[in-house]
Amino acid sequence: MKKKDQDIDDVLIDYALGQLDPNDTARVELMLAERPELMREARALKRMVSHMGVSMIVPPPRLVSRTRRAAREARARRPGWRGVLPAALRRPLVPAAAGVVVLAIVALLVVPGLLPSRPGDVTTPHYTTPGTLGEELTSFMQSSLSEMRTLARGKDPGVEDPSERAAQAMLWQKEPLPEAQLEVLHDIETVWRTAYERAGPAGILSDETITELQDFVAQKRLVERIEALMFH
Amino acid sequence: MHPSDEELILGCRHGDEESFDQLFERYRSRLFTFIRRYVRDHQAAEDIFQKTFVRVFTRAGSFRRRAKVSTWIYTIAANLCRDELKRRKRRPTVSLDEPLPGHDPGHAWAALKATDDESHSPRAAAEEAEHRAALWRAVDALPDELRVTLELQTLHGLKYREVAEILGIPLGTVQSRLHNAIKLLRAKFRDVLEHGPEPGRG
């Protein structure tokens, strides 16, 4: 098949799979109107694709009820962030899980605009309270490495999402830590310990504590140092 | 007014069971179909189905707004499916060069190329069902990576980018896998077509 024919064939396949944008679709349909042999081919491809749309396989009722129950039970059993953080705190800093939580908490605390003015508004970031932040961290700690890879992989170089940064940090930390990075981790640990020790019974940090932590982070240029380590 | 997927995930994040139930209803058949065809084992599919929804409810906090909820859910399921396939010995796939039992692909492709929807007779409906079955046998015979990619796209109407995200592969790989899959299916059908249908058919 000639290159041009191959290109046309590829376009027809994209067309049949519904992958062209409206403009390209219109262009292809104009071309097809003038080329009956291609029109037949395109129709056959479209029919073939449409024939693949089998009916859904319905999960059996016992599986449905079992899954609902399991999800509810798992949700109820799930430890809160206060249950997770102390265990992590007791570990040395080098283990990746501890490190990533620290990075995440710092990122969440210091990235501007993460504390929305309208709690609960679905259009704004959801880190409304340190409690929610704890949920985030808990989820993150429970993620498998493959899920973290999913988070970290394929994202834009200028990732804005702190958890994605943390995911990248997790991957980064699979390597042995050079001495210089330990200094950064020491400062991170200070932030984390302060946050944990000052958290109220519901895991809520006061505004004063958050401000104090943000000041500390700004003074130490911690975010810049973390980013330098993570992305350079 | 129905809540959006994003609103339901937000509810799940806060432990709202009603939100979870709605999300579950919305995705359960689609997801079970995807998982069942991915791992090709009913018991394993049931386990993965359950694990997926447990994770959806317990890890709603890890959902990133940048992605679509559907993509996120399928990604969880796809990761579990991949783990399952790694765990067990990879099944040998049927070569496309082997004859597919119980159907005549040449006849199927000829029918696809013929003027479509020309008849709604019972005979035409029966032939249509036969072509559909023939096609699915051919899809089943594709190498796993092509088959899973093709099914994910065609069954669920996803864009290349979404498929790439779910399967954790580059966008170009998705496109080439889908093109290869379509070309393999068509070549199989066309080859038989060019040599004429089997005696007594068509």
Asked if A86 and A179 sit in the same domain, the reply is yes
pLDDT at A89: 37
> Is B93 inside any structural domain?
no
Domains contained in chain A, number: 2
Q: Angle between the A81-90 and A179-198 helix axes, to the nearest 10 degrees?
A: 140
| Partner residue facing A135 (CB), from B13, B113, B175 | B13
B contact test, residue of A24, A75, A127 with most B CBs within 10 A: A75
Q: Are B112 and A48 in contact (CB under 8 A)?
A: yes
Helices vs. strands in chain A: H and E counts, helices first? 12, 0
pLDDT at A201: 53
Asked if A202 and A98 sit in the same domain, the reply is yes
Tens digit of each residue's pLDDT (9 = 90 or more) over A14-70: 999 999 989 999 999 999 999 998 998 898 888 888 877 656 788 999 999 999 999
CB atoms within 10 A of CB A81: 25
CA A46 to chain B, closest CA, distance in angstroms equals 9
Residues 6+ apart with CB under 8 A from A107: A162, A163, A165, A166, A223, A226
Residues A66 and A177: their CA atoms lie apart, in Å, by: 44
Whether B198 contacts chain A with CB within 8 A: no
CB contact under 8 A, A63 and B168: no
> Is A13 inside any structural domain?
yes
Domain end position, chosen among B87, B116, B146: B87
Asked if A136 and A173 sit in the same domain, the reply is yes
Give the residue, A144 or B139, on which the prediction is more confident.
B139
Tokens standing for residue A43: 């129709």
Torsion sign (Cα): B179, B185, B186, B188: positive
Domain CATH for B147: 1.10.10.10
Closest-approach residue (CA) in chain A for B76 = A147
> With 50 as the cut, is the pLDDT of residue A83 above it?
no
Q: Which residues of B touch A151 (CB under 8 A)?
A: 62, 64
Closest-approach residue (CA) in chain B for A49 = B154
Closest-approach residue (CA) in chain B for A37 = B113
Asked if B66 and B122 sit in the same domain, the reply is no
> Is A63 inside any structural domain?
no
pLDDT, chain A, mean: 62
Residues 6+ apart with CB under 8 A from B61: A132, A135, A136, A138, A139, A140, B13
> Is A119 inside any structural domain?
yes
Residue numbers of the domain that contains B163: 105-194
Asked if B68 and B115 sit in the same domain, the reply is no
pLDDT at B65: 67
Tokens standing for residue B159: 């864009």
Asked if A12 and A101 sit in the same domain, the reply is no
> With 60 as the cut, is the pLDDT of residue B183 above it?
yes
> Is A68 inside any structural domain?
no
Asked if A33 and A95 sit in the same domain, the reply is no
Residues B60 and A178: their CA atoms lie apart, in Å, by: 34
B174 three-class SS:
helix
Domains contained in chain B, number: 2
> Is B73 inside any structural domain?
yes
pLDDT at A221: 78
Tens digit of each residue's pLDDT (9 = 90 or more) over B27-80: 999 899 899 988 988 999 999 999 999 999 988 877 766 678 888 899 889 989
Asked if A121 and A212 sit in the same domain, the reply is yes
pLDDT at B104: 46
> Is B92 inside any structural domain?
no
Residue A66's φ and ψ, nearest 5 degrees, are -65, -40
pLDDT band at B131 (very low <50, low <70, confident <90, very high): confident
Give the residue, B56 or B194, on which the prediction is more confident.
B56
Q: Is B180 exposed, middle or buried (0-12, 13-18, 19+ CB in 10 A)?
A: middle
> Is B41 inside any structural domain?
yes
> Is A69 inside any structural domain?
no
> Is B34 inside any structural domain?
yes
pLDDT band at B146 (very low <50, low <70, confident <90, very high): very high
> Is B164 inside any structural domain?
yes
Residue numbers of the domain that contains A186: 80-231
pLDDT at B102: 37
pLDDT band at A194 (very low <50, low <70, confident <90, very high): confident
Asked if A93 and A26 sit in the same domain, the reply is no
B contact test, residue of A52, A129, A146 with most B CBs within 10 A: A52
Give the residue, A212 or A224, on which the prediction is more confident.
A212
Give the residue-averaged pLDDT of A128-144: 44
Whether B103 contacts chain A with CB within 8 A: no
Residues B25 and B31: their CA atoms lie apart, in Å, by: 10
Domain CATH for B69: 1.10.1740.10
B contact test, residue of A43, A47, A141 with most B CBs within 10 A: A47
Tokens standing for residue B20: 């979870």
> Is B200 inside any structural domain?
no
Asked if A94 and A179 sit in the same domain, the reply is yes
pLDDT at B190: 67
> Is A192 inside any structural domain?
yes
Asked if B75 and B109 sit in the same domain, the reply is no
Asked if B69 and B117 sit in the same domain, the reply is no
> Is A20 inside any structural domain?
yes
ipTM field: 0.74
